A and B are shown apart, each in its own frame.
Chain A
Amino acid sequence: KQEVTQIPAALSVPEGENLVLNCSFTDSAIYNLQWFRQDPGKGLTSLLLIQSSQREQTSGRLNASLDKSSGRSTLYIAASQPGDSATYLCAVSSPYNTDKLIFGTGTRLQVFP
């Protein structure tokens, strides 16, 4: 059974720092991996999707990498800003059930001025 873990559970950093959020999954047979952002009281916003054949994806200050063999993904946020404060969730899908996502418990990020 696939399990997804995110470490740390919470992170507080000063503005301007580059930071890394970690996501681990137990079964390396994945179809894709998706990173989401959730602001308090809001829905989830898709940030990046990495297909199993890809190693990384970039969008603006965000870069997500995928290492299937070790069951890990990292989300790198460059030059963090207070507006980046949110909860970040990763989720994976299986090649045997491409529709269904298994979510991690999230990392709550606070970036202070």
Chain B
Amino acid sequence: DAGVIQSPRHEVTEMGQEVTLRCKPISGHNSLFWYRQTMMRGLELLIYFNNNVPIDDSGMPEDRFSAKMPNASFSTLKIQPSEPRDSAVYFCASSSAGSYYEQYFGPGTRLTVT
């Protein structure tokens, strides 16, 4: 399996622009997670889906952030409008009940908002 795939790997954008991050989970996994990592705050869970349904979005910082999972093999995290404080590394992870919910992470997207 190719593992969790994220794109783009790096994104540089100007404040106010819309940013869309993409994730393809491991085939067969039914849970998908979006995390954000910064030096100041460490690793934060933003939102997670189970069977394509959002279960917990309490970590989404503001209404500027939204996430969708239209099918079992694709998810997006959108920031609109972006702000410099959104600069971070965003990780996607997936898991399945069949593997005791062991989470597998993607390589991350490094976002820089100028």
Contact = CB atoms under 8 A, between A and B. Distances in A.
Contact of A99 (B42, B101, B107): B101
Contact of B103 (A41, A46, A105, A106): A46
Interface in B53-91: 55-56, 91
- State the main secondary structure of chain B at its contact with A: strand
Nearest to B43: A103
A36 B95 CA distance: 14
A85 interface: no
B105 A99 contact: no
Interface residues of B toward A: which range?
20 to 34
Given A31-B101, A89-B43, A99-B95, 16 more contacts: A32-B102, A34-B103, A36-B105, A42-B108, A43-B91, A43-B108, A44-B91, A44-B105, A45-B105, A91-B103, A98-B97, A99-B31, A99-B48, A99-B50, A101-B103, A105-B42
11 contacts: A43-B107, A44-B93, A49-B100, A49-B102, A51-B100, A89-B43, A99-B48, A99-B101, A100-B56, A101-B45, A103-B42
Interface of A: 31-32, 34, 36, 41-46, 49, 51, 89, 91, 93, 98-101, 103, 105-106
